[in-house]
Amino acid sequence: MYNIILASTSPRRKEILNNFEIPFKVKGSEIEEKMDDREMPEQIAMSLAFQKAIDVANKCNYEDIIIAADTIVVKDEVLGKPKNYEDAFKMLKALQNNIHFVITGFSIIQLSTNKKIVCYEKTKVKMKALDDEMIKKYINTGEVWDKAGAYAVQGKGAAIVEWIEGDYFNVVGLPISKLQNNLKKYFDIDLF
């Protein structure tokens, strides 16, 4: 018998999966997230998700089904998580009054069957015009840390986003609709 393992300690991803009736366990990956600037953003997100899935799969039962994800923000360049206050300010300054893309790569693997699915979802987001004072106020909420692009659309960041075109849950960090499709198609797992 297998367990479903979410290879992420993200409270947001856990919360999204908790909306459904499937039991799962959480086991975070310990890989160092390195991005290769020569790759396309979609490849970066998928590669990081796959690395996380393999890392966790090697620490679990051979039959377990591992779900891993990685989210990045793209505006002229790939924006990961801010390293410090200045980095968060720079990211938000670049995103304000502009359109950017949020890409979540995800991977589902089961070593016992040698099934390895790697996919991504891409969502277009427009952030409001923000002056420096508003950016500083938002950073001071503390919400920017550990968030790609230095904002959280599911929190106070909702007030700085003008619109979203595409999958909202992708911007939160787990494109649940596409994940459901892949779980059903390749692993015969229905989230309902």
Burial (0-12, 13-18, 19+ Cβ within 10 Å), 80: buried
Quick check: helix, strand or coil at residue 159? helix
Cβ atoms of 71 and 120 closer than 8 Å: no
Burial (0-12, 13-18, 19+ Cβ within 10 Å), 121: buried
Catalytic residue among 36, 37, 64, 70: 70
**Tell me, what amino acid is at 15?**
E
Query: Distance (Å, rounded) from C-alpha 154 to C-alpha 150?
Result: 13
Query: Distance (Å, rounded) from C-alpha 188 to C-alpha 31?
Result: 29
Examine the residue annotation and report whether 70 is marked as an active-site residue of this protein.
yes
Tell me whether strands 65-75 and 99-110 are parallel, antiparallel or unpaired. Answer: antiparallel
Task: Please give the DSSP secondary-structure letter assigned to residue 173.
Answer: T
Query: Distance (Å, rounded) from C-alpha 44 to C-alpha 16?
Result: 23
Cross-strand pairs, 185: none
Which residues participate in catalysis according to the annotation? 70
